[in-house]
Amino acid sequence: MEQTLREFIHYLAVERGLSDNTLEAYNRDLCAFTAFLKQSGVTCFEEVKRNHVVGYIQHLQKNGKAASTLSRNLASIRSFYNFLFLEKRISENPTADLESPKIEKKLPRVLSTQEVEILLEQPDCRQLGGLRDKAMLEVIYATGIRVSELMSLDVSDINLEAGFLRCIGKGDKERIIPLGSVAARYVDEYLQKGRPKLVRSLSENALFVNQHGKRMTRQGFWKILKKYARQAGITKEITPHTIRHSFATHLLENGADLRSVQEMLGHADISTTQIYTQVTRRKLRDVYEKTHPRA
């Protein structure tokens, strides 16, 4: 069974070009499913019937797993059995016609424009690290890119004269995003005064580097963000994705059209972007109820 799983993960990597993080998620979900099958006396994937899959999802549910977790696990199992069916290793797909659990969409947590302003003021640009941190925070808020995309930026991905950056997102899809004059100014200052003193090898292409002169990691950026959030007195739980949510929400609040925001965020489906319109409508409702005399 382990060999079959390895073949499936290899297929996802080579044929579909999925990211390492996505491959790890598939592997984790399917290893847990395999362990459940073995405990149930199933010795090979070809023996699995619809009731085994349903039983596993119910098992997760009884253990208090969220609907989103159930849905993700079922999606992983479904993809795996679609692969086995296409490879003609099974004649019937046990996941056919199985419905995913309904997921209640939670509104994303966002910062107000004032909170973002305070956060962006925290780095001390007189220090090398502070100058780098200022540039990173300005870029992620100016563009709404994912933290993994921010960390993947090379110096050659930034065009300061034209005011845009080149980003490789999910599925290796390239997109060009406006950078904004403020972010461009701080990136330019970082490139002139900060990065040359931080980087230790001429062969290092990373735009943002850590104290060892190597490419900054997601974990490293997360720690930096949390530090500045504490300094700013922001009590909300904040993650790099909070900045991305705030970017999209603030654009829509100021009149940006949904299609443009979708393109900048790199969403394949506009329905993913539409959740931000709910945030802006909620804010309008709050303002109305607080200010209108007959609300």
Catalytic residue annotation:
146, 170, 241, 244, 267, 276
Please give the Cα distance from 13 to 90 (Å, whole number). 22
Alpha helical stretches, state H, 153-292 = 181-189, 195-198, 218-231, 240-253, 258-265, 270-291
Beta carbons within 10 angstroms of residue 151's beta carbon: 20
Q: Report which DSSP code applies to 174.
A: E
Cβ contact 224:133 at 8 Å:
yes
Find where tokens 């870029």 sit: 139
Residue 207's identity, in one-letter code, is L
Q: Which amino acid is at 185?
A: R
Give the integer Cα–Cα distance in Å for 54 and 131.
Answer: 53
Q: Answer whether 153's CB lies under 8 Å from 206's CB.
A: yes
Q: Is 292 helix (H, G, I), strand (E, B) or coil?
A: coil
